[in-house]
Amino acid sequence: MELYQELTRDVRFIEGLKSCMNCGICTAICPAAEFYDYDPRIIAAIVQSKDEERIEELLKGDTIWYCGECMSCTTRCPRGNTPGLIIMALRSLSQELGYFTESEKGRQQLAIKRVIGENIVYRGYCVLPENLVPELHPEQGPVGLWIYENRDEVYERVGANYQGDGEGALRKIPQEAMDEIYRIFEVTGGFGRFDKIEHFSKIKAESMGFTEDGDDYSDYVKYINTNNNGKHTRQ
Ligand code: SF4
Ligand code: SF4
């Protein structure tokens, strides 16, 4: 398969890459580049070079998962490119081919699919308070743990209408809207993408010695959620 050709089938790629002159303004404005070992200028340059080997390295590596998709880069590029859109196309291709399982940040796609993806489809929210399970999110620290354990009281005190009917923050989303979201995932191939992420992740989990054990690879999910090789951030 010609990877570059596959990318050109994605409308985000066509929109995102016109011609890059490698000036680096996108990197200067990029908030992710401040923290991660990450440079959108290089990603644009690699893709533009059509070097299949280097594109494959991108698809199998960590860097495409560092982008926060904030789209700040589109406001400053003198050539009208949007590295954030190029990266979206790279991410989709990585998921489609199963290459995402080859990197630590890429493997986290399974956790994102199971939490954020499924929340969107079935609850209408990206993240809900009960998703921030302390065991899976040690980065939340003791304050996060306290909020998690006292979440009913905390959300009531800040005026949320948590999963309640009517108006208010974190309210229950009406069924009509939920039906629309479900249909969007159906017609855009979102559910097909979910299946691919599950499929390739299970193959990877087995190859790493994890077993299904009747709990849908939850040990693997915990592993990918909490493991950090310490090599992602800028030194
Ligand atoms: S700002 Fe635009 S032209 Fe400059 S390196 Fe980034 S993508 Fe290329
Ligand atoms: S969309 Fe991605 S690459 Fe562009 S500025 Fe935001 S984090 Fe950086």
In this predicted structure, what is the pLDDT of residue 199?
A: 97
In ligand 1, the atom with minimum distance to the C-alpha of 82 is 7
Query: 190 vs 21, 76, 113, 195, CA distance in Å?
Result: 34, 31, 10, 9
In ligand 1, the atom with minimum distance to the C-alpha of 27 is 6
In this predicted structure, what is the pLDDT of residue 220?
A: 95
CA of 15 from ligand 2 middle (Å) equals 15
Per-run averaged pLDDT (10 residues), the chain, 235 residues:
95 96 96 94 97 98 96 94 97 98 97 93 89 84 92 90 90 96 96 97 96 86 90 85
In ligand 1, the atom with minimum distance to the C-alpha of 19 is 3
| Collapsed DSSP state (helix, strand, coil) of residue 195 | helix
What phi, psi does 36 have (nearest 5°)? -95, 165
Instruction: Kindly state the tokens that stand for 222.
Output: 């915990």
Choose among 118, 102, 141, 133: nearest CA to 193: 118
In this predicted structure, what is the pLDDT of residue 1?
A: 76
In this predicted structure, what is the pLDDT of residue 130?
A: 83
Angle made by CA atoms 32, 62, 138, in degrees to the nearest 5: 75
Give every CB contact of residue 214 below 8 A, 6+ residues apart in sequence: none
What does the alpha-carbon distance between residue 109 and residue 65 come to, in Å, rounded to a whole number?
9
Contacts 24+ apart (CB under 8 A), 149-153: none
What does the alpha-carbon distance between residue 105 and residue 102 come to, in Å, rounded to a whole number?
9
In this structure, which residue's CA is closest to atom 2 in ligand 1?
Answer: 77
In this predicted structure, what is the pLDDT of residue 83?
A: 97
CA 125 to chain CA centroid, Å, is 15
Which structural domains are found in the chain, ordered by start? Answer: 3-97 (1.10.1060.10), 126-172 (no CATH)
pTM: 0.90
Query: Which DSSP letter does residue 172 get?
Result: P
In ligand 1, the atom with minimum distance to the C-alpha of 21 is 3
Instruction: Kindly state the tokens that stand for 98.
Output: 């199963």
- Among 17, 64, 66, 72, the mutation site with the greatest number of ligand 2 atoms within 8 A of its Cβ is 72
In this predicted structure, what is the pLDDT of residue 215?
A: 78
Cβ < 6 A, ligand 2 pocket: 29-32, 40, 67-73, 83-84, 87
